[in-house]
Structure 1
């Protein structure tokens, strides 16, 4: 029995596989990727700040907005990527001459782009669940993949620029009436509405972790506002950090021009200030809260240090990537930055950092160090 001929690119006659459709969805996907990349870059630099890049402490809610957009744009990119791949998959059946440089470069860029983007979106989503089923460090790998995606995307755009330019706007040549009859029952406009609707739906059902108004419908969000001890979610518990509390001998120390030491009662007796600041985590969730404690710049002044000193914060946490953190000059001097002792009108819960934690404006939650027992003035 004679086998049927293998399909070719022309075997897929639907006008939904037209370059105009791919261009429109590609614009949406490109916007999501750009937002995700830029906000992710900002998050990376906040955690690993190069010496040449000053990071401001204000606006106080900036990181809450940028990281919420980062995770939201990454989630929205999933249905957009699937739709984009569906529009162009007939190209896989096109004849390919491996000796031709342009087609070879095009296919290589697509291979790198699609595989790296799929992996990036997968590990990014799994990170929001705080599940790490791999041996490599997430943050460094996520950062490297982002640059790989950008490089592959630029190559792909350069190769496809003439085709993109020809289909950027709707023309008579790309209009549905000039193409073969539709066989799927779905028009182009219907496809665009379906893809936009799917992206909007996953966005609305996940953005509630950083936008409280959407909290009731945040079925895809791993965290919800106001859920947790003292009305605030918890990522890393005291048990996971190996912290069981303090005993009667616990003292808080500041190592600076003058070394100071305080009991918890002595810390509570110092002048207290209040800051209304959110906890904004790299996983995308955020929640505003009312914090009370001692201003960092007041502690530095008492230790004889300049208010804009760099400060190393040391936790009682047993190991871990964030058992210590560095508070840059702008953040140490900001009057909103506190050594917090109370949260939402009550003493800190152990899972929220009892006896003391750092809270500062425009900082990732992983750098708002909990269970603090000492400060070291670095400059």
Structure 2
């Protein structure tokens, strides 16, 4: 039973058929977002069993682009879904038997978790953090909450969804019992049906699809170069010094003076065998050029041509490389990404470089001068800039 004001809002247009069909699209978007988000988190915080490949070099660019695009696509779908079902969320009794209690609890948890993920994820793409918690770990934990609540909700509502999908789009509305609305008061009663209502449902589905497509195009240009002119909501879509966007500047990192200092040295350490390199020393070593995209967790990516010393060649000038992971340290003294660890499989790759040049020019300060790490198929936050030390781990 619905309160009278809300019962008047329940129409065949705002029904189980619309909710089920939009829900399928939303479920696909959430599944893509969840899986690609796990990949990104595991690359940055790898569990012992996880191994991310070195090639193809654009794989992370694709997965993280899909993560952000699917998350943005989910926003209009969530709004349409909530519009379709919200009157029934207040059907009486609010709790009732254990099955109804489980349904209500899963809905509340699902809506809260999904909205939290979409809002915080969207803010992260703009690097806007108006909260006190650490985004990365909180976003990761809440992803499991949202996924679990979605699975419970699907299990509880599966009979209703199957019944709604089995009816043609121009058929009669769902039985009132499926929505806990009394037949005598339901605006969805067959006697209230009009010829325009199936058309209205189709129009809403079309509008939801168009909204999702527009949302995708508004950010897809961050990942897909030929769509950049459409990327009106993309904060970083190809513009920046040397044709590559910048997340963290040298000024923000507080490294400008040290990076340009005459006594700058890059220290390379292999099991106690240590050697220091000036920028001129690095330039005197054999130079290699590699075309590698740089892709960041915010979803943007850019193709670039990097030139520098092959990492394995640099290590060979110090001593035998023992085929272990390597730690990179920045001149930056603070921040969680001032260091990164590169797995041995990436160290061995012929296109992993200590880069000195970008797109044919010496690195500018904001891109990591005097030198930086660039490795294939890695998030930008792990491509350490302003290198001060390279150490092979024991």
Q: Would the TM-score normalized by the shorter structure come out above 0.5? A: yes
Q: Which runs of 5+ in 2 are unaligned?
A: 175-188
TM-score, normalised via structure 2 length: 0.91
Structure 1 stretch displaced more, 49-58 or 286-295 = 49-58
Q: For residues 257-297 of structure 1, what are the alpha-carbon distances to aligned partners after superposition, in whole Å with 9 as ceiling and x for unaligned?
A: 42111111111000111110111000000000000001111
- Give the 3-state SS of the residue equivalent to 1:312 in structure 2: strand
Residue in structure 1 matched with residue 236 of structure 2 by the alignment: 223
For residues 1-379 of structure 1, the aligned pairs below 5 Å read: 6-7=3-4, 10-96=7-93, 98-171=95-168, 174-175=171-172, 179=190, 180-181=193-194, 187-225=200-238, 227-244=239-256, 245-257=259-271, 258-306=273-321, 308-379=323-394
Q: Is the 8 A contact 1:307 1:333 kept in 2?
A: no
Q: For residues 141-183 of structure 1, what are the alpha-carbon distances to aligned partners after superposition, in whole Å with 9 as ceiling and x for unaligned?
A: 1001100000100110111111112223344894579952267
Task: Return structure 1 stretches of 4+ with deviation > 3 angstroms.
Answer: 169-179, 182-186
- Give the 3-state SS of the residue equivalent to 1:314 in structure 2: strand
Q: For residues 172-217 of structure 1, what are the alpha-carbon distances to aligned partners after superposition, in whole Å with 9 as ceiling and x for unaligned?
A: 8945799522677961111111000011011112111111111112
Aligned length: 374
- CA RMSD in angstroms comes to 2.0
How far did 1:246 drift?
2.6
Paired with 1:237 and 1:189, the residues of 2 have a C-alpha distance of 49
Q: For residues 77-107 of structure 1, what are the alpha-carbon distances to aligned partners after superposition, in whole Å with 9 as ceiling and x for unaligned?
A: 0000000011111212311153411111111
TM-score, normalised via structure 1 length: 0.94
Q: Is the 8 A contact 1:273 1:292 kept in 2?
A: yes
CA distance 1:173–1:106, shift in 2 (3 Å) = farther
Q: Which runs of 5+ in 1 are unaligned?
A: none
Q: Is the 8 A contact 1:279 1:289 kept in 2?
A: yes
Q: Is the 8 A contact 1:309 1:333 kept in 2?
A: no
Q: Is the 8 A contact 2:3 2:91 kept in 1?
A: no
How far did 1:13 drift?
4.3
